[in-house]
Amino acid sequence: MPELPEVQTVVSQLEQKIVGKKIKDVWSDWKKKILPSFSTFTKQVKGACILGTRRYGKHIVIDLDNEYSLVVHLKMTGHFLVKDEANRTTKAFTEDPVNGYIHHIVTFIDGTTLEFSDMRKFGWLHTMKTEEVETLASIVSLGRDALSPNFTEKYLRDVLSGKKKQMIGAILLDQNIIAGIGNIYRSEALFLAGILPTRRVETLTKNEWPRIVPAIKKVLRQALKLHGMSDGDFRDTDGLEGRFQQTLYVYGRGDKPCKKCGTIIERKKIGQRSVFYCPHCQK
DNA sequence: AGTGGCTCCTGAGCGC
DNA sequence: TGCGCTCAGGAGCCAC
């Protein structure tokens, strides 16, 4: 569920909230998702201070001042909560069931905690030398970041020149081509671009090509502004929902009328994932 | 090269 | 009421 806008929301909030803090202790009740091991993790982070945060596609990187870094993937339902004396008992933390699946906790010496809630336990944390972060397999293989200036129509055309038979809907999900898009924003971006997800790359016209990259950037920027979307499980570090779901045109709207033309939105599977599209607005 | 299926995991929603 | 089924989904992996 967390895609680029949600992950960037978390990275920005962590930058504001935990940089400079010193780690006192760590705890986990789901150690199999801490790599390379919980004991290594403990040794490498205890006593270190947070230097800063970064994002690679959907990966979160938390750099420490001891030459180690913590790389995190939220996968589907993972999210970070930052709790302190002042906010620990807010309703978002105590009453929202989505925030109640805490499996990992980092405690700072000032009493603040960085907690990782993850209902489905797919998310992972991986400690390594800071200099090794960019060599991690799932990071080194990433395509250009969807919001980076170097993600351009030319880049997309070049990288897709060897993938003419693939469906554009599958392309948008491929992190090794474009980093950051997930199942929600691929449907939304293709709606904005007016292109059916099932279209093969080789059939895209000269009028359609220039619409793809701007549509992707537009939908991601809009979502980022609203702290992402939380139809399901995403929460920001305050435990609060994003607001983008109110602006969805097609995702999750199967059998409902298109907000632009009234045609019934259809749903289909590409791979194992649902894509939603308007058969009238998208060609 | 391009698909399809399985896996990790849990909760929601459904049919009976 | 409660059981069992299916689905949701990021991404790696394997098979055809």
Same fold, A4-140 and A144-277: no
The Å distance, CA of A168 to C1' of B1, is 15
User: A186 beta carbon < 7 A from strand C?
Assistant: no
A230 touches strand C (CB under 7 A): no
The residues of A that are catalytic are 2-3, 58, 273
Using the structure, give the distance in angstroms from the CA atom of A159 to the C1' atom of C4, rounded to a whole number. Answer: 46
Domain ranges of chain A: 4-140, 144-277
Residues 24-63 of A with CB under 7 A from strand C: 57-58
The topology (CATH level 3) of A4-140 is N-terminal domain of MutM-like DNA repair proteins (3.20.190)
Nearest residue, CA→C1' of C10: A75
Architecture in CATH of A144-277: Orthogonal Bundle (1.10)
For the stretch A199-243, pLDDT in tens is 999 999 999 999 999 999 999 999 888 887 766 678 888 888 877
What's the predicted TM-score (pTM) here?
A: 0.94
- Counting Cβ atoms within 10 Å, is residue A65 exposed (0-12), middle (13-18) or buried (19+)? middle
Q: How far is the CA of A120 from the C1' of B12 (A)?
A: 13
CB atoms within 10 A of CB A232: 14
For A161-203, write each residue's pLDDT tens digit. 989 999 999 999 999 999 999 998 999 999 999 999 999 999 9
Tell me the pLDDT of chain A (283 aa) as tens digits.
689 999 999 999 999 999 999 999 999 999 999 999 999 999 999 999 999 999 999 999 999 999 999 999 999 899 999 999 999 999 999 988 889 999 999 999 999 999 999 998 999 999 999 999 999 999 999 999 999 999 999 999 999 998 999 999 999 999 999 999 999 899 999 999 999 999 999 999 999 999 999 999 999 999 888 887 766 678 888 888 877 767 889 988 888 899 999 999 998 888 788 899 999 999 9
* Strand C bases with any atom < 7 A from protein Cβ: 7-13
Rounded Cα distance, A86 and A91, in Å: 12
Write the secondary structure of chain A as one string of H (helix), E (strand) and C (coil). CCCHHHHHHHHHHHHHHHCCCEEEEEEECCHHHEECCHHHHHHHHCCCEEEEEEEECCEEEEEECCCEEEEEECCCCEEEEEECCCCCCCHHHHHCHHHHCEEEEEEECCCCEEEEEECCCCCEEEEEEHHHHHHCHHHHCCCEECCCCCCCHHHHHHHHCCCCCCEHHHHHHCCCCEECCCHHHHHHHHHHHCCCCCCEHHHCCCCCHHHHHHHHHHHHHHHHHCCCCCCCCCCCCCCCCCCHHHHCCCCCCCCCECCCCCCECEEEEECCEEEEECCCCCC
